Structure 1
Amino acid sequence: KPKIAHLLLADGTEKQIKASELKIGDIISIKSGEHTPSDAIITYGGAEFDESAINGESLPRYKSVGENIFGGSTNINGTILAKIAKNPKESLLEGIISSLQQSASKKLNIARLADKISNIFVPSVIVVSLLTLIIWSFFDINRAVICAISVLVISCPCALGLATPIAIVCALSKGSKSGILIKNPAIIELIKGAKIVAFDKTGTLTKGSLSVSATSLNDDDLRLAGFLSKASSHPISKAISKYVGTSKGAKGIKELAGLGIEYEENGVLMLLGSIKLLQNHGVVLNESQKEQILAQNAALALLAVGGEYRGFIALSDEIKEGAKELISKLKAKGLKCVMLSGDNEKNAGQISRELRLDEYYAGLLPNEKVELLRGFGGSVVFVGDGINDALAMKEAMIGVAISNSSDISKDASDIIIIKDDIKALYELFSLGQKALKIIKQNLFWAFCYNALCIPLAAGVFGGAGVFLTPAIAAFAMSSSSVIVVLNSLRLLR
């Protein structure tokens, strides 16, 4: 968020003021490279805006007179005038931050069954020990004392108390070694209830940056496209320049917001951009060329030289390695996989079909993602990376931030996947299942041990000549705790 804004005065001059002092109705100018101080409506000009802080999409959007721009978005090129539509403290970005602060304390660690039982267990064992002393004292006072002490010694609330936390500690350690940082230990128990895994698109399922996917240009024309792109800071230009590997760029290119690049040399006009840019300069495409362009389901940069169409470069946001495999494995576990994206319907639909997702939703703002998650119910794991995903992470049962996430998303999440491998998400579900299995085994052992050993120490089987000494009871008690710990350590294998 910018700290200053350029206020347009009645006489047409500009005055630099604090962004926090802006009022609804004020007219401001936003130049190339500057950030928008608050939600506003464009009143003059047009420019491309990077709205990744709001919708997570890396490709800028061209906006002109009458269209809304969000506080926190960046003007990529051009100069515009805009009328402030919301007080800076009430902008969409501020709303995200405010909602995040309010929801920060909603998730609490779940109460553990073993903790509740332990609260009852200790006084109950003391009562059993006293009853054992009283009953056996009618027959043999020495036996009464030995049995009462043995009951106190053999009972093991430690095994009950350790059953869950020691397994969770081992699960946290195993997770960190696998590149999974678990911030909220309660999710180890919660993950068993997950039914839906919801993903953000850009930067989560896809790489989040454009790359050249196809081109119809020959080598010479491709080098020319790289030459024209080198001097531009537009994401499409950067992707082309990187693909071609150009070291030298054209001087004096003219960038047209939302259209592309113009460059003239020795009387020859060169164009690189949208089909509208070519049409504006009278470049005619035949039907075959138009069909070829329409068949490319990607962002396009068209090249024309001297009024002649040369070909296209198609760019797309590539799917991350391992994403298809992850979706396939999650669906095999019976989990429903959906995508919640701020991108347009066309791009979101294409990615959804390639990954074979169960459902997808496009063009979503942060609050709309939250509403959808509420509609899904409370058994959702949400995976994202951007500022715009932070609210959804807090709303979901479990929020997962991936390695390249924004700081706000990492703070809002329960889990951070540290390594740059989205397949680690599957390891998280496997780890959760294994940890729960170990916890159940530990609890079963602790219950069975106490249910069998306390009556044994109390002399219930004394009629058959079976009695325990305090020394044997102490060994049994220690062994019980050791067994629980050793069983939990199996998670580290």
Structure 2
Amino acid sequence: MSTAQTKAMSFSNQVACTHCGQPVPGHLVRKEYDEQFCCHGCETAYRIVQEDQDLFDSIQQRRSENDASLFSGHDYGFLDHESFQEANCQPIGDGLVRTKFLLGGVVCASCVFAIEKLPRFLPGVVSARMNLTSSTATIDWQPDAIALSEVARTLDRLGYPPHPVVEDELEALQRQESRRQLIRLAVAGACAGNTMLIAVALYFGLFTGMDSEFFHLFRWTSAGLAMVCLVWPGRVFFHGAWQAVRAGVPHMDLPVALGLAAGATMGFVNTILQRGEIYFDSLTVLVFLLLVGRYLQYVQQRRAIQQISLLRSMLPRSVTRLLETNVNAATECVPLEAIRVSDWIHVRAGDVIPVDGIVMHGSSLIDQAILTGESNGIPTTTGDRVLSGATNLAGPIIVQAQSIGAQTRLGQIAELVEEGVRGKAPIVQFANRIGGYFVAIVLTLAAITIVCWAPFGIEAAINHAMALLIVACPCALGLATPLTVAIAQGRAGAKGILVKSGDVFEYLARPGVIWLDKTGTLTEGRMHLIEFFGDTTVAPAIEALERQIVHPIAEALVRDLAVPADERISATRVTDVETLPGIGVQGWIDGERISVGSSQMIAEANLFIGESLEHRLAVLIEAGDTAVVIARQSEVAAVCSLGDRVRIDAKQTIASLEEQGWTVGILSGDHQQAALRIGQAIGIAPQRILGGLSPEDKLRQIQKSNPSQTVVMVGDGVNDSAALAAASVGIAVKGGAEVSLKAASVYLNRPGTLPILEIITGSRKTVRAIRRSFAVSLGYNGIAVLLSMCGLINPIVAAILMPISSLSVLAISASSGAFRQRLTKEQPVNLQVQKVVS
């Protein structure tokens, strides 16, 4: 920590915020001012309260002059573009337009207060409403009076950098459906709770006595609550039953609806005739429990195609476009939607390439790992083709757009993902497989009960049939899967394994084929120094030179060379650093030229290399790792190799999977030699190792697998997303691209491969618990049905016995051993040995 930071922290410990009294963070302390503030919101709120326009205006000026690091300084000109405003701004009448921004830096109520006072200091802004929970600001403004970019810049200067809120239509529809289900659940819960309270009063009244008027008042109140519960939240079951009748297909909603209708009818008849039992408490509780199970299932399965919008979100929102097809032309900032084929785009180092196109000017290294899985940067120069979604690593380039939107490489992958999700047949749960037969049998038995008991009186016949429908209600059968799955998902989540769908457990309980991506899945996903051969005294010079640039190879060399502090060379001694795109970097240290780059540098710079170093360089290149040459002046002093390290638990995981009956293979976008080296090191058969695959190749390999087998794909990149979506189960590993996380059914939030074993082991235990629940539920219901048909159970007893089946399912689910233990890693297997040879 620097001396200045230490002093700032020390000073902040003695200073409280002028506005709220909270401690002031060290980086916000301004010793030259009398007033100190813990956040931008408190400072702005204080100025507003002080009614000092000049001081408020000085906030922006002071931050612009002295605190540039506190705001982004982005150019928000693209917000004024017609294409952006058509998609993101809504006219609300009277010449006003509404837009939403996601604001950074909003931390407290003072921030909200400051933002909502924006119209007071920015003419043209009519209102600003801030949601602290979602950090979203809703701005109403007059386009004729102020530009949206100016509103954004003002928010940025105040310390709240704005970002456009882009909401996918599907997400909005899903949120609305989720809200409707939660409202139904809340209403059902309120009705059930109040009806149960009334039932308790009525039951106590049977023993202690109750006046007639109160007795009937409670019964009618219970009837009213039951009517609300059945007509509002419970109508989904009647709707499902009606659809089943129209379609002629037995559905589990049918006996539920019949039982609810029969119970409600008898309850209302007995309430009107002031006789017998009412069943409103059992009916409302039943509706509530069934809606709980239905909502859990909805939450598990509602994310089907969201990954498409995430693919789009990987691209930049704004692009720098050249006004003319000339490298020296002026530029403008426009939204991505405004780019057309043949436009020239300026892509800075570190930016994501927004289109597929041809490099018209400049040279750089392009990182396409997110698209192809290739872990090394690809040298690119004028005339080469680049793809959307790739990252420009080294220098600025100008790209002519050839494909945009859905026609780009990224767009094509998005289409493959959508087709994979849409084309994958959903798992048919055991409950659904037997549900149709169960419904048909229950209805048949109810009809038989009525016929058999009709000679003894129609009321008795209806009572016994209704008892059968209530006690045989398949709520336990319907809840067995979602309850067990919900418990398993909760336990898995606590261990860093996020499971999105209950289908996963049934698939993974059956051994099949599991395909693993290499980079980032079996390996750590970043470069490491594997071998250094030559003069080790050049290491401090390498470290000093590589510290001057930002590049994965530079990062690996600086980290793994680990030059002691007392041997490090000061950055001031490094001069004239020059990046050679696609080749390497060179600079001068104390009058001596140091060069670090690829083997191509030997010919480009006419370097001399000794026989031993030349032989070693050839060996490194043949091994498939990234070979690096280090030269001092005009002579090669050392060579080294960099590559991705195998995860220490990979070999243990592969062995365990094969012991359990899984066939394991590798699908990699990296070249075949690199994939073979990694696969053989961890024990995968060579014929199951496939390298140099495109996303389409991976998808085809998944589709070629036996459809009767469980096919699992494990990966982390966009290039894996289509295969993840098409597989029976897609597993995305920690650190992967966001789109791969959405395309997958499982996300492993812990590094390593052992969580793969945990999800498979937990799935087997979860499915066993589900099957035990089915057996108990069916056995219980079978006995209860026989007792009902024999007239040994009346509706009220049936209503009491019915929840026992659900409680037994809950007990079995809670006692499942799934995801109770975490696997531990074995001792690291030395798969790759780092050597430093003089």
TM range (shorter): 0.7 to 0.9
**Distance between the aligned counterparts of 1:385 and 1:238, measured in 2?**
22
Letter in 2 for 1:190: Y
Instruction: Indicate the residue corresponding to 2:575 in structure 1.
Output: 251
Once the two structures are superposed, the pairs formed by residues 407-446 of structure 1 within 5 Å of their partners are 407-446=738-777
- The aligned residue for residue 486 of structure 1 is 811
Greater mean alpha carbon deviation, residues 444-453 or residues 259-268 = 444-453
Indicate conservation of the 8 Å contact 1:156/1:481, yes or no: no
TM-superposed CA distance for 1:14, in Å, is 1.8
Shift of 1:422: 2.5
Cα gap change, 1:317 to 1:445, in 2 (>3 Å): same
Q: Write out per-residue CA displacement over residues 345-369 of structure 1, whole angstroms, 9 at most, x where no aligned residue.
A: 2322222222233423323332332
Q: Over residues 49-71 of structure 1, what are the superposed CA-to-partner deviations in whole Å (9 max), with x where a residue is unaligned?
A: 11233223442111234432112
2:520 aligned residue (198, 203, 215): 203
Q: Partner residue of 1:264? A: 588
Q: CA deviation at 1:241?
A: 0.8
> Structure 2 vs 1, CA of residues 57 and 147 (structure 1 numbering), >3 Å: closer, same or farther?
same
Name whichever structure is richer in helix by fraction.
Answer: 2
Change (3 A) 1:161 1:34: closer
The answer to whether the 8 A contact 2:417-2:721 is kept is yes
Aligned-partner residue type, residue 363 of structure 1: G
CA contact (8 A) 2:610 2:636 kept: no
Q: Which residue of 1 aligns with 2:390?
A: 73
Of the structure 1 ranges 475-484 and 39-48, higher mean CA displacement relative to structure 2 is found in 475-484
Q: Does residue 293 of the first structure (1) align with residue 614 of the second (2)?
A: no
Specify the code of the residue in structure 2 equivalent to 1:490. S
Aligned-partner SS, 2:582? coil
In percent, how many aligned pairs have the same letter?
A: 23
What does 1:378-389 align with in structure 2 at a 5 Å threshold?
378=707, 379-389=710-720
The letter of the residue matching 2:446 is: I
Distance change (3 Å), C-alpha of 1:147 and 1:292: same
CA positional deviation for 1:480:
4.4
- The alignment partner of 1:409 has SS state of helix
Work out whether 1:14 is the aligned partner of 2:329. Answer: yes
Out of 694, 704, 720, the position equivalent to 1:375 is 704
Letter in 2 for 1:110: V
Q: CA deviation at 1:381?
A: 1.4
1:167 and 2:484 are equivalent in the alignment: yes
Letter in 2 for 1:77: A
Classify the secondary structure of the residue corresponding to 1:198: strand
Does the CA contact (< 8 Å) of 1:154 and 1:477 recur in 2? yes
- Contact 2:450–2:462 (CA under 8 A) maintained in structure 1: no
1:119 to 439, 453, 463: 439
Give 1:315's aligned residue: 642
Does the CA-based 8 Å contact 1:132-1:147 persist in structure 2? no
Cross-structure match for 1:274: 598
Matched, 1:130 2:469: no
Closer/same/farther in 2, CA of residues 303 and 446 from structure 1, 3 Å limit: same
Q: Aligned pair in 2 of structure 1 residues 70, 421: CA closer, same or farther (>3 Å)?
A: same
SS for the counterpart of 2:393 is strand
Instruction: Report the equivalent of 2:22.
Output: none
The 3-state SS of whatever aligns with 1:290 is helix
3-state SS of paired residue (1:321): coil
Q: Secondary structure at the match of 2:540?
A: helix
Alignment pair present for 1:357 and 2:674: no
Which stretch shows the higher mean deviation, 226-235 or 32-41?
32-41
More strand by share: 1
Structure 2-normalised TM-score? Answer: 0.52
Contact 1:132 1:148 (8 Å CA) reproduced: no
Of residues 652, 671, 675 in structure 2, which corresponds to 1:348?
Answer: 675
Cα drift, residue 230 of structure 1: 1.0
Query: CA–CA distance in 1 between the matches of 2:768 and 2:581?
Result: 58
CA displacement 1:180-220 (0-9 Å, x = unmatched): 11111222223345522122222222111111122225553
Quick one: structure 1 residues 220 and 172, their matched pair in 2 at CA, closer, same or farther if it must change by over 3 Å? same
Alignment match, 1:47 = 364
Whole-angstrom distance in 1 between the partners of 2:802 and 2:410? 57
Structure 2: how far apart are the matches of 1:34 and 1:146? 73
Question: 1: distance between equivalents of 2:650 and 2:579?
Answer: 36
Q: For residue 608 of structure 2, what is the aligned residue in structure 1?
A: 284
Distance 1:431 1:286 in 2: 57
Cα shift at 1:337: 1.7
CA contact (8 A) 1:4 1:16 kept: no
CA gap of 1:33–1:170, structure 2 versus 1, over 3 A, is closer
CA distance in 1, matches of 2:526, 2:689: 20
| Contact 2:357/2:401 (<8 A) preserved | yes
| 2:412 aligned to which of 91, 95, 105 | 95
Unpaired runs of 5+ in structure 1? 460-466
Q: Which amino acid aligns with 1:311?
A: A
Q: Look up the SS of the partner of 1:317 in the other structure.
A: strand
Return the alpha-carbon distance in structure 1 between the equivalents of residues 671 and 701 of structure 2: 17
Q: Is the 8 A contact 1:114 1:164 kept in 2?
A: no
Secondary structure of the 2:814 match is helix
- Gap change, CA 1:489 and 1:287, over 3 Å in 2: same
Number of the residue aligned with 1:464 = none
Q: Map of 1:134-173 to 2, 5 A cutoff?
A: 134=454, 137=456, 155=472, 157-173=474-490
1:215 to 532, 536, 539: 532
Q: Which secondary structure state, in structure 2, belongs to the residue aligned with residue 271 of structure 1?
A: strand
Secondary structure in structure 2 of the residue aligned to 1:491 = coil
- Displacement after TM superposition at 1:431 (Å): 1.6
Distance across 2 between alignment mates of 1:180 and 1:56: 23
State the partner residue of 1:4: 319
Tell whether the 8 Å contact from 1:22 to 1:88 is kept in structure 2 after alignment. Answer: no
Amino acid at match of 2:703: R
Can you list the C-alpha shifts for 1:436-492, whole angstroms capped at 9, x where unaligned?
222222223333344455446645xxxxxxx95769988876654443332222215
Q: Which amino acid aligns with 1:280?
A: E
Larger radius of gyration: 2
- Aligned CA distance change for structure 1 residues 183 and 147 (closer, same or farther; 3 Å): closer
- Does the 8 Å contact 2:733/2:747 carry over to 1? yes
1:452-491 → structure 2 map (5 Å cutoff): 452=783, 454-455=785-786, 458=789, 479-491=804-816
Once the two structures are superposed, residues 250-292 of structure 1 have per-residue CA deviations (whole angstroms, 9 ceiling, x without a partner) of 3322221122122234543222222221343333333332222
2:443 maps to a residue whose letter is P
SS of residue matched to 1:77: coil
Go from structure 1 to structure 2 and tell me whether the alpha carbon gap of 1:265 and 1:454 turns closer, same or farther (over 3 Å shift).
Answer: closer
Using the TM superposition, name which of 374-383 and 24-33 deviates more.
24-33
Asked if the contact 2:528–2:557 (Cα under 8 Å) also holds between the matched residues in 1, the reply is yes
State the Cα deviation string for residues 2-59 of structure 1 (Å, max 9, x = none).
Answer: 4224438466632325454554445555453444332123355532111233223442
Answer yes or no: is the 8 Å Cα contact 1:207–1:317 preserved in 2.
yes
AA at the equivalent of 2:331: Q
Quick one: which amino acid aligns to residue 283 of structure 1? L
SS at match of 2:518: coil
Q: Distance in 2 between matches of 1:230 and 1:99?
A: 41
**Residue 463 (structure 1) aligns with:** none
Distance change (3 Å), C-alpha of 1:144 and 1:26: closer
- From 540, 546, 552, give the equivalent of 1:235: 552
Contact (CA 8 Å) 1:283, 1:309: kept in 2 or not?
Answer: yes
Aligned residue type for 1:334 = G
Work out the CA distance in 2 between the residues paired with 1:46 and 1:65: 7
Residue pair 1:214, 1:313 contacting (<8 A) in 2 also? yes
